[in-house]
Structure 1
Amino acid sequence: MKVRTYAIYVLLTTLGVFLCDASTKHNGIGPITDHFKHFLDENGYSMFDFPRADMSDFGSFGGKKQDSDKITNYPVVFIHGNSDAALTANSFSTGWTNTVNYFIKKGYNLTELYATSWGNTIVSQASYRKHDCKTVIRLRKFVEAVLAYTKADKINFITHSMGVTLGRKVIAGGKLDDLSETCDVGSSLASKVNVFLGLSGANFGLCSCASSIVIPTCNVRNGFYPGDFCGPQNNALCGKSAYPPSCLSKTYSEYLMNLNQDSNKIADKTFSAWSQDDELLGNKNYVWGNFTSLIVHSTGHKIYNGLTHMQTKENTSSDQFLMITTGTIPK
């Protein structure tokens, strides 16, 4: 029997991964500056290890070099996906290097671009990662630190893959029920967010998780479980654009349901983008009749053809820039 799970996909992907000299691709972008690190240490953030020194120069980026450095644009916070990193670590974990270089080319500087890595780039551990309190709270604290450090009225978000659903909770705040604990993320930060861009997120789960709920990343509580809308014997219908009206169940991942049922906005403008040829999300992006990458209450969306899951992040820098800076969808 052919078993398709998120974990198996990621494990197979590693067969083609070869480590590269990441430092040659970063051009001094990472890690975060000493100026920002000093601020973090002085303001009680050192326990969260935002620099990620264990990842050398690809674990984080952002910050001033000196007090006089100016912040002209709304700062951008980047949140990567499962087994990725802030900047290029290897040929699979490519980080935000392309996007950051493009933004710098267009006039931004590192006082306005921020990221910390979450998790690690060990792809064989991808199946164990979920939307847990530790990860969400840590990313929330990073966002709070960026707001305090930059003193910006608003910030922007660019997120990819699992970073989309993590980022949505970071902004929305509220209670989070983990498999092992319950935590309060805090009050909503939506009033502080100008544009939220979600690239290739799994907002309605992954069909590949339908029969794999024992895998942590697919779990029913805070994973990518898409639901058994027609009963487990009909999971093959998950990726169809429509399904029989007799399939009335609307139950899927509790974490994702809570995000999608929240009537409050997470930003002034929210954009979603994905590829119909995404090999990880599959099924032309359908999960029980929904586009899984379409964030509820999106202002607009962009659908690509011919791009892989990672290429929707790597090859769309100009579109990302346009959506963030103009608040419009590229043609």
Structure 2
Amino acid sequence: MCNLVMKFQILLLFQIFFGLSYAAFSADFGNWLQEYFGEDVRKHLERADLGTTGSFGGKKSRNDVLKNQPVVFVHGVSNRAGDKMYQAAEFFRSQGYVWAELYGTTYANGDEGNPLQWASYSMQCSYVKLVRALIVAVRLYTGRAVDVVGYSMGVPVSRKAILGGRCVDTGEDLGGPLTKFIDTYIGVAGPNHGISLQVGGISIPGCVFSLLPVCNTQTGLYSGFCPSESVYLQDINQQVGYEGQNRFSIYSKADQLVGYTVCSQ
């Protein structure tokens, strides 16, 4: 548990969250998904439509034995699995992990070549369901408790995936919490209470108005005038301790977008 946190602290220090690499599920994991959950689930989790950046992880052979607990990485807004989280997984590999222990999928479509694409995303039920499906699949595929690492918007998305219950936008019932299957949960720069822009040393709520999809009052990062929060954020924050047996949050006081605190939280 502590080693996992230390790995991420080192990762942040060396700033290797950048760059593009090849990423895809192993043939064994892809075949396993199709065998146990069907072709449609495999398609949605593998994200072959995104080419080499849609997903990663899986054993070379069904008989491979894991030495470490599997880790599910959940990317941030306008990213894909093969972007920053793949680089995070590569760092774990340098510390002795193998691809059979490292997993990621893409719950949206990345920036699609648009630097402002992040503003069009929100925390839709479809995104939550994909992340939840991957966590459950990795748990069943490996037979081990799972560690989860969320980054940026991937933090509130993964928290809801673990919490379960009804989606605030569609009313779909996701099922009960996955808490007992999660050993360690780490949230990195997660906008759990919205975002706080840093302007001249002053913290200003970044989603006071709900004009942009990312700031909408239902599934967005809306934080209004303190202590207002979107329905989604209220939903994931009304309970505590459900993310896993061990829980950690990593923030930076130098973060200009998410901020260190939002509305004193």
Q: TM-score range by the shorter chain?
A: 0.7 to 0.9
Q: Residue in 1 aligned with 2:214?
A: 217
- Among all aligned residue pairs of Structure 1 and Structure 2, give the percentage whose two residues are the same amino acid: 32
Give, in whole Å, the separation in 1 of the partners of 2:38 and 2:246: 29
Give CA deviations for 1:58-112 in whole Å, capped at 9, x if unaligned. Answer: 2111111112211121100000011111123xxxxxx223322221122111111
Give CA deviations for 1:201-254 in whole Å, capped at 9, x if unaligned. Answer: 11111211102x02111011111011323xxxxxxxxxxxxxxxxxxxx43111
Q: CA RMSD in A?
A: 1.6
1:182 aligned partner, one-letter code: G
Give the drift of 1:138.
1.7
Aligned with residue 208 of structure 1, among 195, 206, 211: 206
Aligned with residue 124 of structure 2, among 118, 121, 132: 132
2:61 counterpart of 1:66: yes
TM-score, length of structure 2 as denominator length? 0.83
Give CA deviations for 1:241-300 in whole Å, capped at 9, x if unaligned. Answer: xxxxxxxxx431111112111144321111011111112224xx232222xxxxxxxxxx
Greater Cα offset, 32-41 or 58-67: 58-67
Contact 1:136 1:185 in 2 (8 A): no
TM-score, length of structure 1 as denominator length? 0.67
Give, in whole Å, the separation in 2 of the partners of 1:80 and 1:221: 21
Aligned with residue 261 of structure 1, among 234, 238, 243: 238
- The structure that has the greater radius of gyration is 1
Q: Residue in 2 aligned with 1:155?
A: 146
Give, in whole Å, the separation in 1 of the partners of 2:186 and 2:38: 26
Give, in whole Å, the separation in 2 of the partners of 1:253 and 1:223: 6
Q: Residue in 2 aligned with 1:113?
A: 102
Structure 2: 5+ residue runs without aligned partners? 1-18, 196-204
Question: Measured at CA, do residues 264 and 45 of structure 1 come closer, stay the same or move farther in structure 2, by a change above 3 Å?
Answer: farther
SS in 1 for 2:46: coil
Give, in whole Å, the separation in 2 of the partners of 1:64 and 1:265: 29
Q: Residue in 1 aligned with 2:159?
A: 168
Contact 2:135 2:146 in 1 (8 A): no
Q: Residue in 2 aligned with 1:35?
A: 28
SS in 2 for 1:198: strand
Contact 2:177 2:242 in 1 (8 A): no
Give, in whole Å, the separation in 1 of the partners of 2:212 and 2:69: 39
Give, in whole Å, the separation in 2 of the partners of 1:46 and 1:125: 29
Structure 1: 5+ residue runs without aligned partners? 1-19, 89-94, 230-249, 291-331
Give, in whole Å, the separation in 1 of the partners of 2:261 and 2:93: 35
After TM superposition, list the pairs within 5 Å mapping 1:300-315 onto structure 2: none
Contact 1:160 1:198 in 2 (8 A): yes
SS in 2 for 1:77: strand
Aligned with residue 56 of structure 1, among 47, 51, 55: 51
Q: Residue in 2 aligned with 1:47?
A: 40
4+ long deviations beyond 6 Å: none
Q: Residue in 2 aligned with 1:100?
A: 89
Give, in whole Å, the separation in 1 of the partners of 2:117 and 2:86: 23
Give the drift of 1:139.
1.4
Aligned with residue 263 of structure 2, among 280, 283, 288: 288
1:265 aligned partner, one-letter code: Y
After TM superposition, list the pairs within 5 Å mapping 1:72-87 onto structure 2: 72-87=67-82
Give, in whole Å, the separation in 1 of the partners of 2:162 and 2:177: 6
